[in-house]
Structure 1
Amino acid sequence: MTGRLKAALAVIAVLIVAILAIGSFVLWPVISPSTPDLAVPGGSAPGAVVEATAKTDLPILMQISRAKGTVVEYMSTDPTGRPVQVSGVGFEPGGDAPEGGWPVVALAHGTVGIDDACAPSRSAELGGLIGIAQALVGAGYAVAVPDYQGLGSPGEHPYLDSPTAGRNVIDSIRAVRTVFGNVSNRWAGYGGSQGGGAIWAANEESARYAPELSPVGTVDAAPAADVVGLVAKARAGTLTSDQRAAMQLIIEAAARIDPAFVRDDYRTATAAAEWDVLSACSGPLVSRRDAAIAALGPGDVGPRSDAAAARLTELLRSYALPRMKASAPMLVLYGDADTFIDPEWTRDAVRRSCALGSVVESSDQPGKGHGDVDISSALGWLKDRFDGKPAPSNC
């Protein structure tokens, strides 16, 4: 073996050792993850932490950065004003927190179903929000992801009850601050669809419900702010296929909570035959759900009488937004081709919020539907709010 070859092999050996050493250093948090210290003081006040366990299925980039995760049970407030236990997930970035603690972003999920098994905290994907959560943690934000009442926790889920879900959002922020201990009181929020209504409601409620917190702004994408119009469309037989699916979940959720909501007052025999399939979010029935939705006719789901229509209208009005001036600026993004939430319903909710004195920038996106709304401006908009820049408004 020549001296030159020996020297080359020595260099290669050194490089291999260096690469292995660097790789081991980078991947050590994955190979040997640390167990975070999680505060669980208990109590019954809104936001009080009842139980917290380490979330061990973090995405690899979170693991490498030493981010912390928790599945948390905490207290909130139900539609009647009574304490209720709910669940969710929280994340804290790795490293040293900035002065005042990590700013926190609440992520409010869209429709996942109405059963316990549907709860985002039950899956590694968090109901489709894990990618956004990872990006926010990487940008230096703590993150709170509530399941909402009745998803993953005792009791029934009041589907599309934005005020209740909004309190669940606020209390998830309180819980994350308690569990990790180094999270700021400054918060922002993002939510889409059902979560758009939840995060809008959390914005409105924050100043009254949680005066110790300091909201800087929320992004509401295709928000389910006011869907009272579903009742008139159901009576007229003009619900879209997507709206029939949403109506079925509204009726089933209401019937589970209130015996006055008799399912047969809101469905035909055709719908009743596939009702369990239409309600499913997990298990073998899920594979049949899309076909069952497609098979629903224009009049198969909705009130069968004036009395049933009045009862459902009253319920949806109790869910509707706005209810008060927003506590912080809002960016409302929606499409003019939305087949779940008619765009005029969102436009009207924005107009009413503006009339109450809210600071709102709304973007009515041509050709966009419900799930393809362009949210690329959301992270930059939220950063500007945390940076204290004046919020634009086109009220």
Structure 2
Amino acid sequence: MILRKVALAVVSVGIVGAPLLSGCERAPAPAPPPSSDASSMQGVPVDADFTGSGSGALKAAVTMPTVDRRLLKVTSLAARIEFESKSGIDGSSQLVSGSVFVPKGEPPPGGWPVVAMGHGTTGIQHDCGPSRSPNLLGSADPVATLVNSGFLVTLPDYQGLGMDQTYHPYLDSTTVGYNMIDAVRAARTLVPNASTRWLAFGVSQGGQAAWAANELAGDYGQGLQLVGAASMAPAASVAGLADAAAAGTLTPEQASALQWVLYSLKEEHPDLNLDDFRRGIVEDKWDVFSACSGPLVAQRTGLTEQVTPDDLRPSTPDAADRLRGYLTQMSLPKTPTAAPMLVVFGELDKVVTPAWTEAAVAQACSMGDVIEAYSVPGRGHDDIDGAVALGWVQKRFAGEDAQNSCDVQGGPILRLSPKPWYEE
């Protein structure tokens, strides 16, 4: 059987993403109180049930009066929310921020279908949450497209982004997977006429989040019905970063991502000696490389070009093995998925090496997953024309059977034209 080509649709992709990390066991902590952050108080409080507890419980909601006008034009409600979620590192309850966008008009029978959108890498600091930004740190266009297509969209910031009670475990796949699922629960509390049917969609780090949510949904997504997951340029299997660092072959994009991984690993493992992994300009300008906003960001781009292979080379084979262990532990796939999945990545990706994604897809196929997977010739990590798949997303909600490239000739990775379908 020859699979049809997927039409590259209207949601643009343009956020740099990266790898994963793991962590040690910690004693679970109680849920933190709702934030008093001023960014939560800019809008008008939204009336909702805030009395719930546990994963997905809604704790705060305010309107977003300064959000991008493209979103205000197509939404009946744009709200910043805070909700309870769960750490993938130690199982502790965590307060996470995010946003919810509701279409105008009346919902279809069964309620508004929900898309949980995982954003690409925005940084690792507390001020890197999209809900703090009028244009959602670059996510406004795809969110507006999805809302205008009739989907209620929830965009979690991820743990530690947008809130200052904890750190961001960059990129712990289990944590962001939990955050995606719990954002749907919180959105349904805020908007009672939202459906239980939902789809995970994401780019780069968000592609990892969508994939992880698909793996977690069977056990963790009780009460919700996941219809599919679309992962664009996903940061899935990234243990190769350790090998590239040891060999001195990191691309500039991978070097930048690895620095953020190391920053977060130090938060999880205080005994980690960062000097086993950094030196030169990376060590000297650590704060600059760690920034995602403010005056330091202007310096970051230029400094990234000055990083040499030795600046992020593990100092010993044991250090390389330790890093590889963290990345391997957090790489996807981990378990079979609960719903069909779409995976699209560029064959020139310099952040997540294409061979890593190909290996992840092949492993997922061996677990019995249903995947439609495509490599886009001539494209890299942040220039794929599409969230592929407004059409693919709509078919999942319509209940159509998903196609599977795992068991076709030439699969599981098929080649996709980089041109939009209407130019072919």
- Match of residue 142 from structure 2: 132
Identity %: 43
- Match of residue 128 from structure 2: 118
Q: Distance in 2 between matches of 1:53 and 1:227?
A: 37
- Match of residue 331 from structure 1: 342
Change (3 A) 1:146 1:347: same
Offset at 1:261? 1.8
Change (3 A) 1:43 1:354: same
Offset at 1:35? 6.6
- Match of residue 243 from structure 1: 254
State the structure with more CA Rg: 1
Structure 2 residue 56 is the aligned partner of structure 1 residue 47: yes
Match of 1:84 among 94, 106, 119: 94
3-state DSSP of counterpart to 2:385 = coil
The answer (yes or no) to whether the contact 2:75–2:102 under 8 Å persists in 1 is no
Aligned ranges 1:93-108 → 2 under 5 Å? 93-108=103-118
3-state DSSP of counterpart to 1:295 = coil
TM-score, normalising length: structure 2: 0.83
3-state DSSP of counterpart to 1:300 = helix
The answer (yes or no) to whether the contact 1:40–1:51 under 8 Å persists in 2 is no
Q: Distance in 2 between matches of 1:267 and 1:215?
A: 41
The answer (yes or no) to whether the contact 2:176–2:209 under 8 Å persists in 1 is yes
Change (3 A) 1:253 1:61: closer
The answer (yes or no) to whether the contact 1:117–1:152 under 8 Å persists in 2 is yes
Q: Tell which has more relative contact order, 1 or 2 (C-alpha 8 A, sep 6+).
A: 2
- Match of residue 28 from structure 1: none
Offset at 1:209? 0.3
Offset at 1:59? 3.9
3-state DSSP of counterpart to 2:305 = helix
Number of equivalenced pairs: 362
- Match of residue 73 from structure 1: 82
Change (3 A) 1:233 1:63: closer
Offset at 1:260? 2.0
3-state DSSP of counterpart to 1:190 = strand
Structure 1: segments with no counterpart, 5+ residues: 1-33
Offset at 1:36? 8.0
Deviations 1:306-349 (A, max 9, x none): 22222212211222111111111111000111100110100000
The answer (yes or no) to whether the contact 1:190–1:218 under 8 Å persists in 2 is yes
Match of 2:331 among 298, 320, 323: 320
The answer (yes or no) to whether the contact 2:204–2:232 under 8 Å persists in 1 is yes
- Match of residue 186 from structure 1: 197
Match of 1:222 among 219, 230, 233: 233
3-state DSSP of counterpart to 2:197 = strand
Deviations 1:189-244 (A, max 9, x none): 21111111011001111111012111111111110001111001110111111111
Structure 2: segments with no counterpart, 5+ residues: 1-42, 407-424
Match of 1:56 among 51, 57, 65: 65
Q: Distance in 2 between matches of 1:219 and 1:313?
A: 27
RMSD: 1.6
TM-score, normalising length: structure 1: 0.88
Structure 2 residue 118 is the aligned partner of structure 1 residue 143: no
Q: Distance in 1 between matches of 2:75 and 2:258?
A: 43
The answer (yes or no) to whether the contact 1:251–1:261 under 8 Å persists in 2 is no
